[in-house]
Amino acid sequence: MKTRIFLQATLVGIASAYSGAALACSVCITGAAGERLTDAFNWSVIFLMAMPYTIVFSIVGFFVYAYRRAAKKARAEEPAALNPASELS
């Protein structure tokens, strides 16, 4: 148990000693904020994350539209089917 705690403390110490390496990451917000390249990477990540939601909502929207259109068409045909006397006049 003591060896495990020592190993974890050592790894945390090494990671904090080399924290400058995290600033080199292109998508780190704490990195060179305000630079054009960093902003471009951040926007690209946002667009990549939004694309699956856009596709799913488009498909769901199409099915909702098709359902409502079919329901409206069924309501329009319903009175004529229920009133046979309207066909006689």
Q: What is the average pLDDT across 14-22? A: 66
pLDDT in tens, 27-86: 555 555 667 877 788 788 899 999 999 999 999 999 999 999 999 998 887 765 566 555
| 9 occurs within a structural domain | no
| 17 occurs within a structural domain | no
pTM of the model: 0.48
| 70 occurs within a structural domain | yes
- Given this model, what pLDDT does residue 42 score? 79
When divided into structural domains, the chain yields a total of 1
Question: Which residues touch 32 (CB under 8 Å, ≥6 apart)?
Answer: 23, 38
Residue 12 vs residues 5, 16, 30: alpha-carbon distances, Å: 11, 6, 19
| 6 occurs within a structural domain | no
| Token representation of residue 57 | 């909502």
